[in-house]
Amino acid sequence: MSRFRNPYRKWKSRVLLSLLGLGALAAVFPLVMILLHLVREGWSALNLAFFTETQKPVGELGGGMAHSILGTLGLVGLASGIGIPLGLASGVYLSEYGGTGQRSGERLAGWVRFALELFSSTPSILIGVFVYGLVVVPMKHFSLLAGALALALILIPLVARTSEELLRLVPGSLREAGLALGIPRWKVILHIVLGSARPAVLASLVLAVARIAGETAPLVFTSFGSPSFVKGITEPTSALPLQIYTYAISPFEEWHRMAWAGALLLVALVLILNAVMRVLSHGLGGGAHE
């Protein structure tokens, strides 16, 4: 019986598992520290005024980030409205009709993929510059529209890529089963393919939206920022990241606190969106079993 004993192995296993645990903690630790720091610095400035007032002229006390919150909501909303349908459509097209992009009928898919990859690897500030030249210059001023467009250009490749991958994960046998029932191809794609990938696709959309909510650089040359509520879709607008920057580089102590508060709000927003994503992917059945 004694040849089955190996105390050395058990000990080695314990040591390595502990090291792994420590590594995980080490990764999480800075995030926790950042969060704690944000709360410590910004919590005091999260008052009613913060949520209702806009930037006061230099020298005056008080103010808030109401206009930035609204601006971010508007920018993200419009960008999603443009970007999600286009991104999903590209993702569906590439997954259902794109194949590997090598056969003759798939040339268009090859180009689409190339364009999407190009955009996704472009630095976001250059996307902003691109939209500046395309929209801001002809319009002769900065606008929410331009900002939303820039964000949409970041959103589309993101959504397209993840939705394509998620749709490809749907087994071909489900498509065949749908077709074999005499269901037209577009309905198979819409109801069966998208249907079975729905939880995962929704979750990925939420993640993508969270991602663009925090983008700053592309907004610099497009929506530009503003001290007050946006007056129309063709007017410049503030956004949380922009406003954080404005308040942070100012010499005013009070504005610094509001910058922290803004950062905290942004992080909270991302955290909430992540939580929503988790609920969505678990609550809706989470895909196929066995």
The whole-angstrom separation of Cα 60 and Cα 41 is 22
The verdict on 192 binding another protein (CB under 8 A) reads: yes
Min dist. Cβ of residue 167 to another protein (A)? 14
| Nearer of residues 140 and 289 to another protein, judged by Cβ | 289
Tell me phi and psi for residue 164, to 5 degrees. -60, -50
Minimum distance, C-beta of residue 277 to another protein, in the bound complex (Å): 18
- The two three-digit tokens of residue 272, written as one number: 């909430």
Instruction: Give the x/- contact pattern for another protein in 131-170, rule: CB under 8 A.
Output: ----------------------------------------
Which residues ranging from 205 to 234 are in contact with another protein (CB under 8 A)?
none
Instruction: Check if the beta carbon of residue 224 is closer than 8 Å to that of residue 236.
Output: yes
Member of 12, 40, 187, 282 binding another protein (CB under 8 A): 187
Structure tokens at 22: 């420590």
Question: Under the criterion CB under 8 A, does residue 177 sit at the interface with another protein?
Answer: yes
Q: What is the rounded distance in angstroms from the CA atom of residue 50 to the CA atom of residue 64?
A: 4
| 171 near another protein, judged by CB under 8 A | yes
Which residue shows structure tokens 């090598």?
102
Q: Does 287 bind another protein (CB under 8 A)?
A: yes
Q: Which of 216, 225, 221, 171 is nearest to 193 (CA)?
A: 171
285 binds another protein (CB under 8 A): yes
- Which among 246, 247, 275, 256 is positioned nearest to 38, based on CA atoms? 256
Among residue numbers 72 through 111, which ones bind another protein (CB under 8 A)? 99, 103, 105
In angstroms, give the least distance from the CB of 176 to another protein: 7
Cα gap 95→57, rounded to integer Å: 52
| Alpha helices, DSSP H, located in 194-235 | 194-213, 217-220
Residue 196 within binding range of another protein, rule CB under 8 A: yes
Binding site for another protein (CB under 8 A): 99, 103, 105, 171, 173-174, 176-184, 187, 191-192, 195-196, 198, 284-285, 287-290
